[in-house]
Every structure is written in C-alpha cells, then in structure tokens.
Structure 1
Amino acid sequence: MNNVIEEILVSEKQIAEACKRLGSEITKDYENKDLVLVGLLKGCIPFLSDLAKHIELPLEVQYMIVSSYHGGTASSNEIQIKYDLEVPIKDRDILLVEDIIDTGQTIKAVKKLFETRGAKSIKVVSLLDKKDNNNLKAEYVGFTIPNKFVLGYGLDFQQKYRNLPYIGVLKKEFYDK
C-alpha cells in the first residue's frame, strides 16, 4: 500500500495524541449538556471511534451520509443527503465529527440543516483542516494541513486506503492523469 504514499503527513501516534487532547477539551466544554456526536460517513469512522473514547461524558452517536464529492479529487457545491439521522435533534447539543474540512461546503450545509431542525447548539470537530482552502471555522481541529490530496485513517482514494493508520499524501501520479 505504501507505493501510493508520497509522505506521511500525520503519524498514528500524532493522531492518538490529538484524539486525547480534543476529547479532553470536548469533555470540559460539554459538561452537563445533551451531547450528540454526529459522524459524517464514511471517513469519520476511525476518528469518531477514537475520539469518543476520550470524551468522558454520556453521549449519543448518530451518523449521516452527506456528500459533496462525486469521484476523483474535485469537490462540487451540490450536497446530497444519502442517509439521515435516526433521532430528532431539537434542543440538543450537536457536535459534527468530520475527518477533513476541505472546502467546508458539506459542513456549512449540514449546520444550516440542523439549525432549521432546532438544534440547541452546533459545533464542529475535525481531525484535519485545509485552512487555505476554506473559510469555515471549526471549534475543534486536530491538525491544519496544506492543500494536498491526503488519505488514510478514514480518508480514501477511490474508496480505498481508509484503513491506513496514519494520514499520508497521495502521490500525484495516481490522481493527476
């Protein structure tokens, strides 16, 4: 698998440390609140799982499949909800769990949707943030990264490589054809 990786951007150890740090911050900020972690599938799975272990509060986990990506490496402005929440969120504290904030379009659309559904609060935790590529402010960020095509730890290239335990940069030859 390493033949597709140009470099390791964030190591497995760094990810574990970030999950612990973020979990501690979230625990403090959400004490005595009705916390619902909403994971945006599929990429959030490893991050949400590891992060939740470090949030020392009762919480509920829900998932959505919301997409603004339609293959390849480009993002589109079209948002599609493919799988919605199973519970109402009115008057609840929502923490959106995202693997990466690229353009921020998906998160903005989901936040707007949750506002119309009456969520008490809506914040974002993301493992990665391509800050140069968006103007979205996430409340909790593991790492700010350069605008490179990354994969691993939930992030994919053509639905593969999500199982890498680190975040790597995909060699340009694989997507610049």
Structure 2
Amino acid sequence: MSTDLAHIRQVMVEADCLYNEEEVEAAIEAVAGQINAELAERNPVVFCVMNGGLIFSGKLLTKLHFPLELSYLHATRYRNQTSGGELFWKAKPEVSFIDRHVLIIDDILDEGHTLSAIIEFCRHAGAAAVYTAVLVDKDHQRKASPDLKADYVGLSCEDRYVFGYGMDYKGYWRNAPGIYAVSGL
C-alpha cells in the first residue's frame, strides 16, 4: 500500500500550530534545568524510547551537564484483551538497571500504557529509582492509571492528534519544527 504524499502534505498545510519551534526549545531548556538540578549526582542511565523519543532525547541530552550512560529501547504494547499490558520488545535495554537511577525519555504521555509497562520493567529489573521525561503531556482523563504522571514535562496539550518533534502522523512529520495538531482531530 503506497502512502498518499499529497494527503500527508495537506495535513501539514491544514494543521494547527500548538507550539512553535522557539516555544518547544524553551520547554526543552526548562526540562534540562530541572533534570540537571535533580539527577546530576545520581549517575543515571538514560533511555530514549524509540522512535518518538529520538528528537526530544537528542535535543535534551546536549543540555544535561553531568556524566550519564545512554541507551535506547523500542517497545510496543499489544492492545488486544488477552495480552493487554504486555510489551513486545523490538530492542531491549542492554544496560544493567540494578541499583541505578533510570531516566526514560519519550515524546508524549498520552494514555501511558507503554510507558507504565516500561517503568514496571525497569523496577522489576532492579532500578533504584525510575524517572520519566516527556516533551508533551496530553490533557485528558484516559491515562492508564490516575497516578501516572511524568517527572519532567516540557509542555501540555489539548486532547488532539498531535505531531512534530518526534510525534508522527501516519509515520510522517516527526521532523516538523513545532508541535502541530491535525485539523479536525
């Protein structure tokens, strides 16, 4: 099945810009300041959640002014009823979590099922503490758990389909220079 690039381009033309590049960059700077203040002495291992967390991680990491170990993970959650909550690891972490402070960086906290499962995986693997940083926290009441909150949040957004800075629309526009909402969604 081929992708309709005309449609993909039209989505960008019609999209609503929720945050421009300058606003997103300022939010990343603020998140970095919080992390520098709180994790600099904790020797964290930092994981980028692929693919969405790639851009946020890349921009954030250069602003963290302390030694850290970096890795990535790529996991998806099956959404059928018989295996809900289980992760399918496309790339499992290869760094030991035992007695380590772990920082997970992702693009968005939407419902949070995958992020919750990753946090639980890290805790089960022996992490001393698990922290989460997201560029965007979507404002709605459908979180996997009412207690699920990211430790570090760049921006919040309304409950719309968003893309840019790592978030995608049908696999496209992760590279958009701002955070956009699909018109009508």
1:79 equivalenced with 2:87 (yes/no): yes
Aligned pairs (5 A) from 1:1-177? 3-5=10-12, 6-68=15-77, 77=85, 79-132=87-140, 133-134=142-143, 135=146, 136-172=148-184
Instruction: Give the unaligned 5+ runs of structure 1.
Output: 71-75
What is the alpha-carbon distance in structure 2 between the residues aligned to residue 16 and residue 168 of structure 1? 15
Q: Is the 8 A contact 2:40 2:65 kept in 1?
A: no
What are the superposed Cα offsets for residues 47-70 of structure 1, whole Å, 9 maximum, x if unpaired? 001111111111111111111378
| Runs of 4+ with >2 A deviation | 76-79
Quickly say closer, same or farther: Cα 1:168–1:66, change in 2 above 3 A.
Answer: same
Q: How many residues align?
A: 168
Instruction: Give the unaligned 5+ runs of structure 2.
Output: 1-7
What is the alpha-carbon distance in structure 2 between the residues aligned to residue 144 and residue 124 of structure 1? 15
Identity %, equivalent residues: 28
- With normalisation by structure 1, the TM-score equals 0.88
Question: What amino acid is the match of 2:30?
Answer: R
What is the alpha-carbon distance in structure 1 between the residues aligned to residue 78 and residue 61 of structure 2? 26
Quickly say closer, same or farther: Cα 1:168–1:69, change in 2 above 3 A.
Answer: farther
What are the superposed Cα offsets for residues 123-147 of structure 1, whole Å, 9 maximum, x if unpaired? 1110001131323111110111111
Deviation at residue 101 of structure 1 after TM alignment: 0.6
Return the structure number with greater strand share. 1
For the aligned residues, what is the CA RMSD? 1.8
What is the alpha-carbon distance in structure 1 between the residues aligned to residue 180 and residue 155 of structure 2? 13
Deviation at residue 83 of structure 1 after TM alignment: 0.7
Question: What amino acid is the match of 1:45?
Answer: L
What is the alpha-carbon distance in structure 2 between the residues aligned to residue 103 and residue 93 of structure 1? 24
Q: Is the 8 A contact 2:135 2:154 kept in 1?
A: yes
Deviation at residue 3 of structure 1 after TM alignment: 2.6
What are the superposed Cα offsets for residues 24-61 of structure 1, whole Å, 9 maximum, x if unpaired? 11011012211111111001111001111111111111
**1:73 counterpart residue number:** none
